[in-house]
Amino acid sequence: MEKILLADDSHAIRFLVSEILTNAGFTVIQAQDGQEAIEKTYKENPDLLILDYEMPKKTGFEVVKEIRSRTGYLHTPIIIFTAVTDKSTKLEGLGLDIDDYLTKPADEDEIVARVKLLLKRSQQKMDSNPLTHLPGNPSIQARVEREIATGNPFAVLYCDLNNFKSFNDKYGFEAGDRALKAAADIIVHAAKQDPNAFVGHIGGDDFIAVCAFDKAEKIAQEIATQMDKIAPSFYSPEDQAQGYMVSTNRKGETEQFPFLAMGIGIVHNTKRPLTSFAQVSGIGSELKCLAKQHEKGSFYILDRRA
């Protein structure tokens, strides 16, 4: 249950807004002035702050300046509750990284809707991969479990870049990041064949796409085709000319490595039931490893076992 810090010097407003948020399923922590708001923020670590613009001891803006100076609260959603509507005040608030305003008096539906929207955006921001900005593991698990619960035919594509470590070792982390971003873009674009598809970044060079079963192979084929088309561009002219690169393997031995390619394992529920995210992950990892054994170029394997 998310915690909301509500700071206002008016007891009546605190009582009213607290009751609205409590009835909506939130835990509400109250503060009657700016200094108490700061102290309770550090003590309770709320998920969102609602601060009155004008409060004793410290104003709402002064509280924001203090809170934002701490690294742990840089992304905590903050709403300013105010009767002031002039443009200069709101511009000042934007400069302090305030997320939203509620103008007094605000009705019940608006308060709850604004809070829920900011909490949802905050969760998405915290969950997303900092490099590709794709959803991370909590969102991935939630989406797969949602598909399992519906019982409709669906597929999960586990995508892994082949030879990424050796490429990263030779060309450096910046080149590696460019390759990861390009791979993410390819998967996202291919997944658009299903308007309801979901793409996530598990971490490192591992990605996932969730889609309707009848779109899975077409999406996998496009990912493989586009990855093989773009892969040579990441290499030096010398490596492009010879069609491979020379780097060290995990044992520190010099070895020839093919260009980056995508190994894809497709898990689905049309041959056997899928009952848990752990089961899907296990099958996906197994299929992905088999696909990565393909000698050259990108390759996908569809689970055909009953």
In tens, the pLDDT along 214-230 reads 999 999 999 999 999 99
DSSP summary character for residue 155:
E
| Domain 3-127 CATH (choose: 3.40.50.2300, 3.40.50.1970, 3.30.1360.120, 2.60.40.10) | 3.40.50.2300
Query: Comparing 132 with 36, which gets the higher pLDDT?
Result: 36
Among 245, 141, 229, smallest CA distance to 185 is for 229
pLDDT in tens, 11-58: 998 999 999 999 999 999 999 999 999 999 988 889 999 998 889 999
The dihedral over CA atoms of 222, 132, 162, 250, expressed in degrees to the nearest 10, equals 180
What pLDDT does 21 receive? 93
DSSP string, 170-237: HH-HHHHHHHHHHHHHHHHHHHTTSTT-EEEEEETTEEEEEEEHHHHHHHHHHHHHHHHHHGGGGS-H
- Give the model's confidence band at 254: pLDDT under 50 very low, under 70 low, under 90 confident, else very high: confident
**Cα distance between residue 141 and residue 200, in whole Å:** 10
Residue 272: its pLDDT value, please?
92
pTM (two decimals): 0.68
Question: Which one, of 224, 242, 245, lies nearest residue 175 by Cα?
Answer: 245
Average pLDDT, integer, range 106-118: 89
With pLDDT > 90 as the criterion, what percentage of the chain qualifies? 63
- The fold for domain 137-302 equals Alpha-Beta Plaits (3.30.70)
Tens of pLDDT, residues 82-103? 876 655 555 555 556 788 888 8
List every span in the chain annotated with CATH 3.40.50.2300.
3-127
Q: Where do you find CATH 3.30.70.270 in the chain?
A: 137-302
Mean pLDDT of the chain: 89
